[in-house]
Amino acid sequence: MSVQQINVLKGLIILKQLKNDNAANRASYVGYVYNIGESKHKEDILNSLPKEWSNLHRNGYIHIHDLDAYDLTYNCLTIDLTKIFPYQNYLDYNDFNKLIAIFSYIKELLTNLGNEQSGGMAFVNFDNEIALILDKLNIDINKNDRLIRSLILDFIIWCNNNHTRMGQTSYYITLNVGLASNDNARYICKVLLEEFYNSSETIIKPNIVFKVKTKINLEKDTKNHNLLELALKCTSKKMIPTYLLCDCKEDKEFDPYKLSIMGCRTRVVSDIFGSIGAVGRGNICNISINLPRLALEVKRENNNILDNKKLEKLFICKWDTLATLVKDILLDRFYKLCKNTKDNFPTNMSYQLWCEDFVSKDLFDIFKHGTLSIGFIGLSEAIEVLTKKKYYSDKENYNLAISIIKHMRKYCDELIKKYNLNFSLLATSGELISGRFIEYDKREFAEQKIFKKDYYTNSFHVDVDSNFPGFKKLEIEGPFHEYCNGGSISYLELGEAPLANIEGLLEYVNIAIKNNVHYLGFNFPKDICKKCGNSGIFDICPICGSTDITRIRRVSGYLEILDGFTAGKKAEEKNRRSN
Ligand SMILES: [Zn+2]
């Protein structure tokens, strides 16, 4: 093959990857150039790392998330607007201009920050924050109801439609709400949920997280219970909000006002440097480990061993070896990040978003509050390879699964002591890697039962085609949440939109809390006719007969348009069975 032919082939492969990696992105000149630069930079990063590390990523043992940001920036951040809002700038304005200014300020902040870090941005108590700003600016809510509603709807549409991140995609924005502590905050929460509920069917952003807490909104006689009911009504139509369950084992000792979900599941709470909670902190970087690969290797080398205890030992030994290298990569990345100059973070410099003074402190002293996470994918397939049975098929196998996850968490806790940084264990969502890992393994290993699908199962989740009733799924997955202190979610797959079945959804929320689920989402298939706007589940619109259908599904933490899914995600979606 000539050099020219090879280059053409490379070009085609890159184009294919671009299509797969960013299928949901809009094509634009800036986006196109960005994608080419991103690919090049990823390759340069891999080439600059020791071969032993880069080969792990290249060969599908691990996935280094946001590889292009390796030495440039951190992942995500949770913000408290009230701490940074420049109230004095707007005191002389009239109400109309104050309100316009507030939302312009937020959009500008998100646009700037969203292009300065690789991942999401969250507001810790969006309802309380907006209410406090309105209060400090002496804005009378009653007199401005219509304007506030329009501005909140406009903000929702902006979050959904604005594609200026990297010149092509929308921003990952999460609004945590539900603990509204006065009437004005309750009003903001209510308006946000109502406007999201009433917004067009194809509006799938921002991510709204409703925080559920006893004595605040869980019980019928609590002040915010009507907001929880409204949230559930909204979920029954739009799959948003999802639910942060502040009374689960993992979260209940912490101040719920400081808890937040960042993006699709990231959890940042404990801090060995004292800034407990999510505000002004985020995840720095994370790497996910391909668990099925390790199990396949154990089996290939020890096919005759059938005893669970022995298999566990062999598996953990392999995981430890790999995790040691993963830890080295995370540390390398962290220290390289800290070697940047402040010029790389103009938004953080001007807005002061981190919990430390960004102007006067060293980058190390700022970013040390962030987390370094070790993630995992495919616990279900790994156990199936080791024992030929699902991890939830009997007690013995279930104990094996718990024991492995417990070990992984213990390992992360030991890293904290040893390296004096905030390591955590992350229950990784599928994202691009659900299909990526299995592709590599199919090439490397002989035919396996787990290869019948084209993806590995999300973190510790039961298989999407398991057919368990909802309560059973929560019972099985619940105990894993407390070990995954870097973030986790359980989903309930519903056959169709549970329209207005608030009681039913509330029952699931209660069952989830009982089972120590930390974060809960409801999924159901949703097809929208592009011609007449009708929604339901169909290939041909029952109203107008059109076959031009938009499919909205949640596969890896965010709602997405199905046409944009990568092959692995599509296959997973196809196999889903309701709970
Ligand atoms: Zn139609």
Q: How far is the CA of 563 from the centre of ligand 1 (A)?
A: 18
pLDDT tens-digit readout, 203-257: 999 999 999 999 999 999 999 999 999 999 999 999 999 999 999 999 999 999 9
What is the predicted pLDDT for the residue at 157?
Answer: 97
- Give the list of residues 6+ apart from residue 141 with CB closer than 8 angstroms, or none: 134, 148, 184, 187
- Answer yes or no: is 553 within a domain: no
Strands (E) across 46-90 are located at 62-64, 77-79
Q: How far is the CA of 537 from the centre of ligand 1 (A)?
A: 12
What sign does the dihedral 492-374-420-369 (CA atoms) show?
Answer: negative
Q: How far is the CA of 495 from the centre of ligand 1 (A)?
A: 21
- Answer yes or no: is 20 within a domain: no
**For the chain, percent of residues with pLDDT exceeding 70:** 92
What is the predicted pLDDT for the residue at 298?
Answer: 97
Q: How far is the CA of 549 from the centre of ligand 1 (A)?
A: 8
What is the predicted pLDDT for the residue at 566?
Answer: 52
What is the predicted pLDDT for the residue at 24?
Answer: 44
Q: Helical H runs in 368-465?
A: 379-387, 395-419, 433-444
Q: How far is the CA of 464 from the centre of ligand 1 (A)?
A: 29
Q: How far is the CA of 82 from the centre of ligand 1 (A)?
A: 44
How far apart are alpha carbons 107 and 109 in whole angstroms? 5
Q: How far is the CA of 358 from the centre of ligand 1 (A)?
A: 52
What sign does the dihedral 565-570-574-577 (CA atoms) show?
Answer: negative
Q: How far is the CA of 238 from the centre of ligand 1 (A)?
A: 18
Q: How far is the CA of 564 from the centre of ligand 1 (A)?
A: 21
Q: How far is the CA of 168 from the centre of ligand 1 (A)?
A: 29
Q: How far is the CA of 528 from the centre of ligand 1 (A)?
A: 8
User: Is pLDDT of 9 > 50?
Assistant: no
301 in Cβ contact with 387 (< 8 Å): no
User: Which domain range does residue 156 map to?
Assistant: 49-525
Q: How far is the CA of 171 from the centre of ligand 1 (A)?
A: 30
Q: How far is the CA of 205 from the centre of ligand 1 (A)?
A: 23
Q: How far is the CA of 542 from the centre of ligand 1 (A)?
A: 7
What is the predicted pLDDT for the residue at 460?
Answer: 97
Q: How far is the CA of 523 from the centre of ligand 1 (A)?
A: 23
In this structure, what DSSP letter does residue 258 have? Answer: G
User: Is pLDDT of 14 > 50?
Assistant: no
For residue 497, the domain's CATH number is 3.20.70.20
Q: How far is the CA of 543 from the centre of ligand 1 (A)?
A: 5
Q: How far is the CA of 398 from the centre of ligand 1 (A)?
A: 46
Q: How far is the CA of 538 from the centre of ligand 1 (A)?
A: 10
What is the predicted pLDDT for the residue at 371?
Answer: 98
Q: How far is the CA of 160 from the centre of ligand 1 (A)?
A: 23
Q: How far is the CA of 281 from the centre of ligand 1 (A)?
A: 45
pLDDT tens-digit readout, 25-72: 556 888 888 889 999 999 999 999 999 999 999 999 999 999 999 999
Q: How far is the CA of 574 from the centre of ligand 1 (A)?
A: 23
Q: How far is the CA of 550 from the centre of ligand 1 (A)?
A: 11
User: Is pLDDT of 19 > 60?
Assistant: no
Among 321-335, 460-474, 559-573, which is the least confidently predicted range? 559-573
In this structure, what DSSP letter does residue 222 have? Answer: S
Q: How far is the CA of 8 from the centre of ligand 1 (A)?
A: 42
What sign does the dihedral 231-575-488-403 (CA atoms) show?
Answer: positive
Q: How far is the CA of 554 from the centre of ligand 1 (A)?
A: 22
CA-based diameter of the chain, in Å? 79
Q: How far is the CA of 22 from the centre of ligand 1 (A)?
A: 29
- Answer yes or no: is 450 within a domain: yes
Q: How far is the CA of 203 from the centre of ligand 1 (A)?
A: 18
pLDDT band for position 564 (cuts 50, 70, 90):
very low
When computed from its CA atoms, the radius of gyration of the chain, rounded to whole angstroms, is 23
How far apart are alpha carbons 264 and 566 in whole angstroms? 18
- Answer yes or no: is 473 within a domain: yes
Burial class (CB in 10 A: 0-12, 13-18, 19+), 95: middle
User: Is pLDDT of 125 > 90?
Assistant: yes
User: Is pLDDT of 3 > 50?
Assistant: no
- Answer yes or no: is 485 within a domain: yes
Strand partners, 536: 527
- Answer yes or no: is 32 within a domain: no
Q: How far is the CA of 561 from the centre of ligand 1 (A)?
A: 17
- Answer yes or no: is 23 within a domain: no
User: Is pLDDT of 536 > 80?
Assistant: yes
Q: How far is the CA of 552 from the centre of ligand 1 (A)?
A: 16
Q: How far is the CA of 548 from the centre of ligand 1 (A)?
A: 8
Q: How far is the CA of 539 from the centre of ligand 1 (A)?
A: 10
Instruction: Provide the phi-psi class of 227: left if phi over 0, else alpha when psi is between -120 and 50, else beta.
Output: alpha
Q: How far is the CA of 161 from the centre of ligand 1 (A)?
A: 23
Q: How far is the CA of 529 from the centre of ligand 1 (A)?
A: 5
Q: How far is the CA of 443 from the centre of ligand 1 (A)?
A: 43
How far apart are alpha carbons 136 and 143 in whole angstroms? 16
- Give the list of residues 6+ apart from residue 253 with CB closer than 8 angstroms, or none: none
pLDDT tens-digit readout, 402-448: 999 999 999 999 999 999 999 999 999 875 687 899 999 999 999 99
- Give the list of residues 6+ apart from residue 348 with CB closer than 8 angstroms, or none: 113, 116, 354, 358
3-state secondary structure 315-376: HHHHHHHHHHHHHHHHHHHHHHHHCCCHHHCHHHHHHCCCCCCCCCCCHHHHHCCCEEEEEE
Domain count, the chain: 1
pLDDT band for position 573 (cuts 50, 70, 90):
low
pLDDT tens-digit readout, 445-477: 999 999 998 899 999 999 988 889 999 999 999
Q: How far is the CA of 547 from the centre of ligand 1 (A)?
A: 8
- Answer yes or no: is 38 within a domain: no
pLDDT tens-digit readout, 278-313: 999 999 999 999 999 999 999 999 988 889 999 999
What is the predicted pLDDT for the residue at 263?
Answer: 83
Q: How far is the CA of 497 from the centre of ligand 1 (A)?
A: 18
Q: How far is the CA of 385 from the centre of ligand 1 (A)?
A: 45
Q: How far is the CA of 202 from the centre of ligand 1 (A)?
A: 14
Distance between alpha carbon 446 and the CA centroid of its chain, in Å? 33
Q: How far is the CA of 526 from the centre of ligand 1 (A)?
A: 14
Q: How far is the CA of 200 from the centre of ligand 1 (A)?
A: 15
